Copies of this chain bind each other. A is one copy, B any other.
Amino acid sequence: MKCSFKNDYSEGCHGKILDVLTSTNLESQDGYGEDEYTQKAKKLIQKKMNNFESDIYFVSGGTQANLIVVSSALRPYESVISAESGHINIHEAGSIEAVGHKINTIQSSDGKIKVEDIKAVLYEHNEAPHVVKPKMVYISNSTELGTIYKKDELTKLSKFCKENELYLFMDGARLGSALCSKDNDLTLKDLAKLLDIFYIGGTKNGALLGEAIVINNDELKKDFTYNLKQKGALMSKGRVLGIQFATLFEDNLFFELANHANSMAQKIAKSIQKYGFTFLCKPQTNQIFPILPNILIDKLEKQFDFYVWKKVDEDNSAIRIVTSWATKESAADEIIDFIMDKYQ
């Protein structure tokens, strides 16, 4: 079987999570997120954020989190601003539009949004009531291109959004990887202050399933569970999500797993860089996008699983290599050795 660098959800979950699921399995717990483990997980995350005012809810996946956050926050005529490459814009089968909202897109080469981009969108939407009213800014961290937001960048976005009555929402499906990037200077405590709402991804960082939605802005807190229930996201056995997040945040497991994923990707990136190859975007997290000769890519495809992301010119393309909490160092070495072998 081929060694896979296709994504970060090919394996099950970290062993500790299975252990706790097993040891607590026959306990009788209340349903719908009223169980002890969900309560415990909430407190552990609040503690990491040093903020006990934020509301926290657990849902089963990222698309679900995104559509609930957007539909619960916006009025029918309000829209959400996103990079064109944003997951909500291209990879969620129209889920945001299905709950009634337009996405205003921004061209971005690195998957990130800047204040000037938002300003341009607002400027184009000054003809009320003929146009939608932008009311939320969606960013992902790490982005769909593996890049991350620095603290000063996020601070500027946050300030601008507050001044312009825009909600700032971070899709953190790969937040662990972002916060563990060697380039990162943000903490969960910062996120509790700079964002109106965000979520912490479990599915791609060692859980079987689960994302933790964190609501910092009071305006967005009211009646939130109604939205969960209505969209089919309120699991009757909420313990399944609670136990996983309690395990990930009880010690430092969440960050250890992300660190491992990042270090595997960085090891591969460094090796590739040695041969003079460049990257579509700076390799900062567990997703890297090296630009390689098509001839080399053809050979790689016989041995490894990954996505060819984008044609760069006649002879070269960018590929996406994704590592995860479960990537073995031997697998990283295997692709490194293979490239060294074939390229030289």
Interchain CB contact under 8 A, A230 and B93: yes
The closest CB in chain B to the CB of A12 belongs to B25
Interchain CB contact under 8 A, B11 and A28: yes
Given A25-B11, A91-B130: A67 and B97 interface contact (C-beta under 8 Å): no
Annotate A116-138 by CB proximity to B: 1 below 8 A, 0 otherwise.
Answer: 00000000100111111100000
Interchain CB contact under 8 A, B95 and A232: yes
Task: List CB contacts (< 8 Å) of A215-236 with chain B.
Answer: 223, 225-236
Least distance between A11 CB and chain B CB atoms (Å): 6
Annotate A221-260 by CB proximity to B: 1 below 8 A, 0 otherwise.
Answer: 0010111111111111101100000000000000000000
Interchain CB contact under 8 A, A230 and B7: no
> Is A24 at the interface (CB under 8 A from chain B)?
yes
Least distance between A20 CB and chain B CB atoms (Å): 10
Interchain CB contact under 8 A, A233 and B232: yes
> Is A30 at the interface (CB under 8 A from chain B)?
yes
Contacts of A62 in B (CB 8 A): 236
> Is A101 at the interface (CB under 8 A from chain B)?
yes
Least distance between A33 CB and chain B CB atoms (Å): 10
Contacts of A7 in B (CB 8 A): 31, 236
Interchain CB contact under 8 A, B230 and A98: yes
> Is A271 at the interface (CB under 8 A from chain B)?
no
Please tell me which stretch of A73-81, A149-157, A284-292, A294-302 contacts chain B, meaning at least 4 of its Cβ atoms lie within 8 angstroms of it. A73-81
Given A76-B98, A97-B100: A90 and B18 interface contact (C-beta under 8 Å): no
How many Å lie between the Cα of A131 and that of B128 in the bound state?
Answer: 30
Annotate A7-38 by CB proximity to B: 1 below 8 A, 0 otherwise.
Answer: 10111110100100110111111110000000
> Is A4 at the interface (CB under 8 A from chain B)?
yes
The closest CB in chain B to the CB of A225 belongs to B129
Interchain CB contact under 8 A, A10 and B29: yes
Annotate A84-109 by CB proximity to B: 1 below 8 A, 0 otherwise.
Answer: 00000011111111111111000000
